[in-house]
Structure 1
Amino acid sequence: MVRASAGAKARRRARGGDRARVPVGAAMIRAIANVLRGEGFASALRRAGERIEEAAQDIAMRMRHGSSEAEILIFSASSIAPRTGGVAIQLMTRLRGQRNVALLHPGGLDVGGHRRRATTIAEAMTVTGAKAIHLEGTSNAPLEELLRFPLIVSIHDLTLFDIDRELARRVLVEAQALIFPSRFLLEKHREILPSLVGEIIEPAICHPPSAQPPSGEAIAFAGAVKRHKGAHLLPDIARALDTELHVFGGGDADLFRPLRALPNVVIHGYYRAGTLPSLLARHRIGLVVLPSIVPESFSLVLSEAWQAGARVIAFDHGAQAERIRAHGNGWLVPLESGARGLVDAITRHNCADASS
């Protein structure tokens, strides 16, 4: 591997930088304290309840017995818990109702509704008799090892830009099929391989904009309260508004701190996967601000906002811009305009609603 590129370092800085290693017990206590300080007690309870359910499901799978055969082995290098983000949500949505597939992930090998022991990819292929591997996301994946087998790759992010360029080209050339969630991400990877051929398959939970007008007038931010999602811009946005700003999602305590000091910010905290549309509708959210400063490869939150009948304001880059241009029901502002550009777009939206 070569040293990460300047772009990779910039993306890491945008996501908050490296964290110092600490003992597991101390890390857990710190994480709980940060959730309580940032998201609040109710959010911490929702997170704890979901962790308990996941543990119970894990125990149940280990106790079941059944067939170990599968035609396709799906490999994920990261957690498959929906609480961990969009890739896991997309994966679990696709797996519903599928047969003859096995799933190898950090928690073990899941096949036929039960969990088998397998410590390597080769062992999982032998146990299941699978004929090919479907790699679900390239982040942290052992690419050299995976390329020894017939490989289908679903690409969800810009990980291949952060590794050795020759290895990235090998993945794109040697894979039997490449799947992208958006044309933006496909075109971006043609910077590595100009002749790249791939298939665009939007996530199963993709939802077009509602033809009906928004059911409410409230304004919200939704998603991970992280710097790369633009959450550091929220205090400036809230100060410029003469109405409440609802914040749905968990994240960094240091980003919640200035938000909690503002009287017009309503923090709802962590929400379970799939519940955002109903939350937006319940609180009569008519406009969702998605200020990601890193280009999105798809944006599930955009789909969920549209599902709730809300309009969206976002920066003009990435797949979110591509989708808003294609379907409407939103406004785009230049990234360099920052919080001021988002506030101006909110003002234009409010004026347009008032005159209609």
Structure 2
Amino acid sequence: MQTKIAIGLLTLGLSWAHLSADVSEMIFYPQADFSEGIFHFNYQGAKNKNYGFMFDRGFDSNRIVYVRPEEHSIEKLKDGSVKLSFANTDRYSYVQRAYKDDFLVSEENGVYKILLSGGDCKGSPDCVTAENILTVNVPKGYGVRKYQGLDQDLKPLKNPIWQAKGNTYTLTARDVKGACVMMEIEKLKPGQTITPMVVAANEIKPLSAPEPTPTNVPVLTPPVAEVKPVAVVPVSKITAPAIITPTPIVKTEPKVEKPIAVAAKPIIEKPLATTPAPVAYFRNFQLFDNRIVALNEAGKTRLNEWAKVFKVSGNKSIIINSYTDDIPPQRLKHLYATNEIISEARGKVVAEYLATQGIDPSIITVNGMGDADPIAPNTTEEGRSKNRRIEFILN
């Protein structure tokens, strides 16, 4: 799970619940291959007030490439988070670089699933934004399969307002604490077109929901073949067969073939294949889709290979230690409040998948280690990436 960006709109000493015309806008411009992108944030509120943006711990302020007005400040707080502050102004904006891991949830067979945040009001528990507007400019050569408006806790918005013009999609959410956009975007093949589908709150179905059983369907009964009665011939009318004298059987001795001597070929014993030792650990991005606790297809392939190695290794137990970096959960905090909880959840996902590959679940132990035992400094993104990992201990 990579560092999140552009997370909260923060009011300094003012609750937005008392404002009547505050508008937050976010425009996202991804590159054609979804390797990077640009976020453009704009805000308009009441005059002569103090406002600001909050970023997660570990956020690199060098990602912010443009800020207006010039009278602003960027500071790192004691908890490691970054604050971009504005004083006595009613409108401001900034432009920020976005990396792939900031918005890409999954990528499979040319289908990209992205998650974008338009901000989260943090001035007070009941603060809201009058209008939260999120716009996505989909690159040429791609089509939108599905799109949905979510709140700051990734739950479906009750009254999302969508407008689509060409490859530009805009969500407007009114009187909400925060808003997000979830999209499935597919790279088009020559001549291919896609009819986009907006997913409403009442259209969400559980992933495991069974298909409804059809009712009032006539049952077709196959026709029964007609059985005709067999005519019975009286015994008195049956003519006895003629008596045939059998031809005498002459016994002949079978010829015995002499065996032909065949030189025996020497048996060459093949050396036993050596089994490579399992890898010490997997980084989380090698196994999981970003920002969700679910294996990606590449992760399943890696675990399939590892399971084959484990089956022939002769070990009697496996311990799965799941780790995070030192940044607390953000997007998934409503489901996993701490790093220990989210790390244990990911470890259990790995254990459950290994069980489907034939490994006895009774010999698997899962430990959610949270941000304990870092193997690299948490002060850099590369270090945090190494610390987000799954380790295997064999006995």
TM-score range, shorter chain: under 0.3
Q: TM-score, normalised by structure 1?
A: 0.26
Q: TM-score, normalised by structure 2?
A: 0.24
- When Rg is computed on C-alpha atoms for both structures, the one with the higher figure is 2
Which structure dedicates a bigger proportion of its chain to strand?
2
Which structure dedicates a bigger proportion of its chain to helix?
1
